[in-house]
Amino acid sequence: MKLQDRIIIRKMQIEDFPAMARWLRTPVVLEFYGGVENPFTLEMIHEKYGPRVRGEIPVVPHIVQAGKEPIGFMQCYQTTTDDKREYGYQPDENIDLLKYYFYFSQSIAGPVIGYTRWKFLICLL
């Protein structure tokens, strides 16, 4: 079975924070997020993602897995009509962004976006 056929997306849990801290300390991620001089600590992860995991703010973090292995991270942001217009979208369109992918160049981003659209469409029906 291909890697992209085993992909699941689940809500992040506090138990995922050590993996998130490891990911956010990798040089390729630090180049774009946080800066190489400011690596993420586990405490920083708890401060930033704890409120999101507990549902205290309207940003829902998710872990992307291939089988049982966490391979990426994404978040769902609730966008307003004004937000969509600001980015050039119509009010009935959605914005799909993928962040923090750790299996680069393995043809996974497309299947994850497709799966996400299908999964959330089913939830809305």
- Who wins on pLDDT, 46 or 85? 46
Would you say residue 82 has pLDDT above 80? yes
> Could you list the residue range(s) of the whole structural domain that residue 62 is in?
3-124
Would you say residue 125 has pLDDT above 50? no
Kindly report whether the global pTM for this prediction surpasses the value 0.75.
no
Q: How confident is the model at residue 14 (pLDDT cuts 50, 70, 90)?
A: very high
Mean pLDDT for 11-25 is 92
| CATH number assigned to the domain comprising residue 59 | 3.40.630.30
Mean pLDDT for 28-43 is 80
Q: What's the pLDDT score for residue 31?
A: 78
Would you say residue 69 has pLDDT above 70? yes
Q: Which long-range contacts (CB under 8 A, 24 or more apart) does 63-66 make?
A: 63/9, 63/10, 63/11, 63/12, 63/16, 63/19, 64/7, 64/8, 64/9, 64/101, 64/108, 64/112, 65/7, 65/8, 65/9, 65/10, 66/3, 66/4, 66/6, 66/7, 66/103, 66/108
Structural domain count, the chain? 1
